[in-house]
Structure 1
Amino acid sequence: MSNFLFCESSPNLGGQELQILLQMQALTQAGHRVLLACKASSRIAAEAERNRLPWQAVGFRNSLHFPSIAALRSLMHRHAIDIALCHSGHDANNLAMAARLASRRPRLIRARTYQPGLPKAISYNRLVDRTLVPSEYLRTRILANPAIRPERVAVLRPLLDLAAIHRQAEQALPSELAEVLADAGPVIVQAAMLRPEKGHRVVLAALPALCRQYPRLKLVLAGAGPEERVLREQVAALGLDGHVHFAGLLVPVYPLLARADLVIMPSLEEPLGLSQLEALALGVPVAVSNTGGLPETVTANETGWLIAAGEVDAWRDGLADALADPARGKAYAARGRRFVEEHYSASAHIEALMAQIALA
């Protein structure tokens, strides 16, 4: 069994922080020992405490914070750390320095969920031993810099807590949302931050023709973000007020996914995406853009619909096709559920993680 140190400098609680907590829980269940280093006031610290996961406060004030480096070095020594995992620039840089000052250097693994611009080779070739990314698409983007050694970057599919997804999907919807959906159908759901790259505008532009065919159609947008005002204006301009509902940020979102007839991800750019996988885990049909890492999660005409990213006509026709044949959608989703259970379970994730660590 191994001793793991997770480092997270963010004060927030998003997808990466939740993934760390899931990894810690899965590793603990597999018999390993885990420890989280994070800011004392961070939301991940509160969640770790709530889930009875061990954590230690580290300042992480900047990317070269000497008190943080000293604290991490001390944790490595006291807990005999074998493997240290990091994510963002601040925790990665401090961890890398601490490891090189430690009397017994652990293997350094970094998770990378996005890559803006052309990456610097030194951060991949020298900073850490191995960088793990969620999709082959993102790995290819990183290796666009020919100076980066390909063996230093590998794909690790994210971990989904399938039992929790099913358990929480049985919870009741918020009363207002339940009332909105009481006599609606079909119900289309998009669960994503309201940002331009998520493709909400494309779907809204495709919706009027579908609403004429399905007078009780309801599109539920679950999420928050800077695009909300623009999207509300588009809804009003298209006369879709009775067909589009802004649900805000829903935690958990699984009861809404379970209520959907179709879950969509019309992103213009997406390293991987999770809501389509969560929907498939629940046996709900999905339609996604054919861009980024999304085709790695959904196979056209086998586990869902792949639709041309950013093309309004393609999304209008693709959604019409999906809504016209619910039985086919359910058959796709059943195959998709088996795919998710095989590749995104805790056991599959930990097995793949340990294999990557062995290669580092």
Structure 2
Amino acid sequence: MARSRNVRGGLRSWCVLMAKKILITDIHHGNGGGHVTYILNLLHGLKGRYDLTLAAPPTGRLYKHAQAIEGIRVLPGLYTSRPLALIVEVRRLRRFLKHERFDVVHVNGGADHRHVMFARLGLRHRPAIVWTKHNTNAVSSFGHRLRAALGTDISIAASEFVGQQLLASSYSRKPIHVIRNGISPAFFCSVDPKERYQARQALFGPVPDDAVVFGSTGGTDLDKGWMLLLQAASTLPVELRERIRVVVAGDPPSERVMAQVRGLGLEERQVVFPGLVADVRGILSACDVGFVLSYREASSYACCEAMAMGLPALVSNAGGLPENLREGIDGWVVPVGNVQALAQRLRAILDESPAALTAKGASARARVEALFSTRSFLERTEQVYRAACQNV
């Protein structure tokens, strides 16, 4: 991966202090999506090299999966906004920080960032606070301005788009580093035709030889834009529409959303919702094209995982998504929310030969290897931890 850019200039030189003891916090009670994947990758990659503690809600996927990682201390962390609960939680956190004397606290949301900021105030041993911005939400509120002034030593942006958001905000007074998500090409790899055939049979049953399977593992929230793909497919002539298959992994859609799907007139076996899956490779193995058509997106693990599996990616031009690929080489970029433009792109994809799609998929995989390596992700994050110690 190319060296991540510091949007304020170069990285500071290594600090004399070495970050040895790190607390990572998160706010998610449920699945958490790519946000949780990011933290799990950090824990797996840094374990054994640092004294790592995770403090996250015990009802979340992150808490459950982190407990299975050997050498990681996992504690329940609550970050409530209600005033009385907030005071109790901050006091408890302050005692914890005072006792544990962490070198770095890596916060990943707004509520945990706020709690850590308040808990650190006035401590004799002040841990450095590193904040990762995982989304494209605005950063102009009073809360953000307060956290930028009192509770942030370095910010990490998941994409150049997010980095520019931070640069135009109060966070620009401290260093900002763009560090792209880490993907393991050894874990996510292309499959042979036999495996693809078996994966398709498992999801869809018999599939026409000229079918094109579009897959998304980014979740079933409508903000992810998967309904747009179905709407675009429904506008195509019958002979083209019948060649399309779609799989969307994530929480099962509500009955109201399923009624919308049925109203589009697509055949029942054309669109499959396998639910939450432990290993997305089983889904992506069946696909010809990965897609993420979000209305808002900072970067997208789902997009990069599909590309690492040797699939060209179809993405919207929302946030940092277009940074993941090169138009016409690794995949395609369409205007966000534009069903007509998406339908035109579907026509063009259906016209491409299997060899052309395979070539784009190979290019997409090479792109991930170059820009989204796990090794670079971890090395760059470690550099930020060490630099943060100097900024306290």
Q: TM-score with structure 2 length normalisation?
A: 0.79
Listed as ranges, the matches of 1:183-194 within 5 Å are 183-184=207-208, 185-194=211-220
**Partner residue of 1:158?**
181
Correspondence for 1:28 among 42, 47, 62: 47
Q: CA deviation at 1:344?
A: 2.2
Q: CA deviation at 1:284?
A: 1.5
Q: CA deviation at 1:54?
A: 1.3
User: Aligned partner of 1:274: which letter?
Assistant: Y
Correspondence for 1:281 among 308, 313, 326: 308
1:221-255 deviation per Cα after TM superposition (whole angstroms, max 9, x unaligned): 22336676345434434344342223333332221
Give distance in 2, aligned partners of 1:325 and 1:95. Answer: 54
Give distance in 2, aligned partners of 1:340 and 1:354. Answer: 21
Q: CA deviation at 1:85?
A: 0.6
SS at match of 2:121: helix
Change (3 A) 1:271 1:173: farther
1:288-347 deviation per Cα after TM superposition (whole angstroms, max 9, x unaligned): 112221111011122111222222232122223223233222222222212212332321
State whether structure 2 residue 44 is matched by structure 1 residue 18.
no
State whether structure 2 residue 80 is matched by structure 1 residue 56.
no
State whether structure 2 residue 157 is matched by structure 1 residue 136.
no
SS at match of 1:149: helix
Q: CA deviation at 1:258?
A: 1.6
Structure 2: where are the runs of 5+ without partners? 1-17
- Indicate the structure whose relative CO is greater, using CA pairs within 8 Å and at least 6 residues apart: 2
Correspondence for 2:129 among 101, 108, 114: 108
Correspondence for 1:82 among 103, 106, 110: 103
Give distance in 2, aligned partners of 1:138 and 1:61. Answer: 26
State whether structure 2 residue 202 is matched by structure 1 residue 178.
yes
Percent identical among aligned pairs is 22
Give distance in 1, aligned partners of 2:54 and 2:190. Answer: 26
State whether structure 2 residue 370 is matched by structure 1 residue 348.
no
Q: CA deviation at 1:129?
A: 1.2
1:68-111 deviation per Cα after TM superposition (whole angstroms, max 9, x unaligned): 33443444444442111112233212212222343211110112
Change (3 A) 1:151 1:129: closer
1:161-218 deviation per Cα after TM superposition (whole angstroms, max 9, x unaligned): 4444459999999999715244353211123333333223322222142651363431
Change (3 A) 1:302 1:343: same
The answer (yes or no) to whether the contact 1:200–1:231 under 8 Å persists in 2 is: no
Aligned length: 358
Q: CA deviation at 1:67?
A: 4.4
**Partner residue of 1:204?**
230
SS at match of 1:269: coil
Change (3 A) 1:291 1:7: closer
Give distance in 2, aligned partners of 1:200 and 1:24. Answer: 30
Correspondence for 1:293 among 320, 324, 329: 320
The answer (yes or no) to whether the contact 1:211–1:243 under 8 Å persists in 2 is: no
Give distance in 1, aligned partners of 2:342 and 2:323. Answer: 19
Q: CA deviation at 1:6?
A: 0.9
Give distance in 1, aligned partners of 2:286 and 2:256. Answer: 26
Give distance in 1, aligned partners of 2:260 and 2:87. Answer: 49
Correspondence for 2:292 among 237, 240, 265: 265
State whether structure 2 residue 330 is matched by structure 1 residue 330.
no
Give distance in 1, aligned partners of 2:237 and 2:219. Answer: 24
Give distance in 2, aligned partners of 1:214 and 1:61. Answer: 48
Give distance in 2, aligned partners of 1:286 and 1:244. Answer: 18
Moved more, 220-229 or 7-16: 220-229
Correspondence for 2:117 among 79, 96, 99: 96
Structure 1: where are the runs of 5+ without partners? none
The answer (yes or no) to whether the contact 2:313–2:364 under 8 Å persists in 1 is: no
Give distance in 2, aligned partners of 1:96 and 1:55. Answer: 21
Q: TM-score with structure 1 length normalisation?
A: 0.85
User: Aligned partner of 1:100: which letter?
Assistant: L
